[in-house]
Amino acid sequence: MAMVSLFLAFGLMGGTPQLAEPGMSAPLFVRAAQGVLEAKVVILDELKPVPVAYTDFDLIGPDPSNVQSIRTTADGKLNLRLEPGLYAIASHEPVPFKGRTYSWSTSFEIEENRTTALTLTHSDATIEHSKLPSLPSESAETRIYHKYQYSVVTVECDSGRGSAFVIDPERGLLMTSFGVAGNSKFLSVRFARQQHFEARFVAGDPAKDIAIIRVNPEHLRSITAIPLKSSRRVGMEGEHVVAMGSPLFQPTTITEGILSKVDDDTIISDVNLSQGMAGGPILNLQGEAIGIATYGKALMPGDAGATGIVNMTQALALTKNLGRLSNDTLPPATNLPDNSHVLIPPSMLEQVAQSIKGPEFYFKAPKNFRTYLKTPFDAYRNVTRHKDFLRDRIARRYKGQVPADQNLEMGPLFFWNKYVGSQFEPVVSIEAVPWPQETKGSFLTRVAAVVAGQHRREQRELRDDFAKMALYRNGVEVQPILRKRIRDTEIYDTVDVVMRDTALSGLYTYSPDAFTPGSKLELRIWKNADERPTVIRIPEKEQDRIWNQFRDWSRLGG
């Protein structure tokens, strides 16, 4: 009979972090005395430790109303900064293991500059026989979800985000669509919060919209590969299938549908894809990947529409031709910077946004660009100002009243979604935007028209493309959380101005920690193929403005 033991080991490291100096790997800043909570959750099964991966726990802070959801890593670990006080930790849901479920609920105290250790075993847990239905009574969709929910990850690339799925854990290989990963200068994948890793492009076929990327195999030790359907006929019309995807910071999602057309190259289905699911697997009810999601489009409001799927037979040739992988495609095993697990409370977002005064700050640099430093509080302020502007314009038409059918609620900050996916993510974004300029020919033509007493419209253009940027703090480069190169298209035609042009803008996000006062911040931006960047020194006044917005949030332990 297997001996089963579950234990949770905690450690706390006291001390106060110091400001980063040149030569240090990452900038830190001085806070009130804190410790680092380290935890590991494993199951001992016949003396073999099995990590409890991606499992949620509730952490209740000194303020009982402050409940944080924390999730273990692939190795069953947790790592958090905590301030002194009394805490409680509890299982978010019972943990099933071999016919039983295990739940914990206990409290512990953290003292300033001291180490607190806590070990929980099965003897401390509430143990019950599993009430989950046995596998034979589960639906095929349920079995697929529980088996592969950690095999699908979020992919971030220059142009946005998508999904990928594990096909070879030993070599660190994942499959996705070429549209997600093919043309990106930088790739990363996220398994969960604080599980952010570099990925590298291995192979792809743009015509077939297939790509294979690689992460360090260290991250996939406990991940199950999704098998690929290898027969010539991957499915038939009328067959039920499921799509899996991993939207940013969201649990793996699963939707179902029916195949309506199966060709050698592509498959058409009504399976519904949410944003970020492109590149994820389409599976039959036997749990085999029969294709890769490439697009989804609603034909009418409320209609699931048609989903395009790349036939897996097109991808198999790519996997068979990989051969021996070069060391150049092996990313490091270290974590990349990630968004804090502590979100900005909605009430704080609104309160701080209302206190912001003055116009939006930007640099007129590099040449032909405008560079903005923005926070979620700035974004919220901009949305509310825009709503007020629209409300006033509409009210003029209706004698000072806005009709009920003129709904001005925009829901989540739609334009902030392109930054982090949620207005509550605590990041600072730096956006370098090509700014329209009048063409030389247009200026000369307008001058001649004025002399002749005529009117000529101003012709504008975008003259440069964004290439990359880097932020330095005290001479040390700060690693960004997110980096994008976005294709912006400007089209407008008015009485005075006409423009039709497109160019690349840049969007990088950073932790607020980089903007704590008292440091020298320098931004370097490259455009086009320039070897030398434009150097922008961020003034202390702007640094203070940004950090003051995050000051209350930092006290939450972010």
Give the pLDDT of residue 315.
87
Rounded distance, CA 220 to CA 224, Å? Answer: 8
- Under DSSP, is residue 444 helix (H, G, I), strand (E, B) or coil? helix
Over the chain (558 residues), what is each successive 10-residue block's mean pLDDT?
Answer: 39 35 38 71 68 80 77 76 80 79 76 73 66 58 88 86 92 92 87 84 90 93 89 86 79 84 83 81 92 63 59 87 85 88 84 89 94 92 80 81 68 43 78 93 86 89 95 96 88 89 94 91 93 95 94 81
- CATH architecture type of domain 4-129: Sandwich (2.60)
Which residues in 181-218 are b (16+ Cβ under 10 Å) and which e? Answer: bbebebbbbbbbebbbbbbbbbbbbeebbbbbbbbbbe
CA 358 to chain CA centroid, Å, is: 31
Asked if residue 366 has a cis previous peptide bond (ω within 30° of 0), the answer is yes
Burial of 384 (0-12, 13-18, 19+ CB in 10 A): middle
- Helix axis angle for 540-554 and 346-354, nearest 10°, is 150
Polymer length in residues for the chain: 558
Rounded distance, CA 240 to CA 242, Å? Answer: 7
Burial of 68 (0-12, 13-18, 19+ CB in 10 A): middle
- Under DSSP, is residue 339 helix (H, G, I), strand (E, B) or coil? coil
DSSP per-residue letters across 270-331 = -----TT-TT-EEEETTS-EEEEEEEEE-SSTT---EEEEEEHHHHHHHHHT--SPPGGG--
Q: Which residues contact 236 (CB under 8 A, 6 or more apart)?
A: 259, 262
Give the pLDDT of residue 499.
92
What is the CATH code for 141-329? 2.40.10.120
Rounded distance, CA 431 to CA 469, Å? Answer: 10
Task: Report strand pairing: 35-45 vs 4-13.
Answer: antiparallel
Domain with CATH 2.60.40 in the chain: 4-129
Residues 268 and 258 sit within 8 Å (Cβ to Cβ): no
CA 107 to chain CA centroid, Å, is: 32
Helix (H) or strand (E) holding 29: none
Rounded distance, CA 220 to CA 168, Å? Answer: 9
Which residues in 307-344 are b (16+ Cβ under 10 Å) and which e? Answer: bbbbbbbbbeebbeeeeebeeebbbeeeebbbbbbbbb
* Selection from 121, 113, 224, 128 nearest residue 168 by Cα: 224
Domain with CATH 2.40.10.120 in the chain: 141-329
Helix (H) or strand (E) holding 157: strand 152-157
Give the pLDDT of residue 73.
75
The pTM (predicted TM-score) of the whole model is 0.70
Report pLDDT digits (tens) over 165-218. Answer: 999 999 999 999 998 888 888 899 988 767 889 999 999 998 888 999 999 999
Give the pLDDT of residue 469.
96
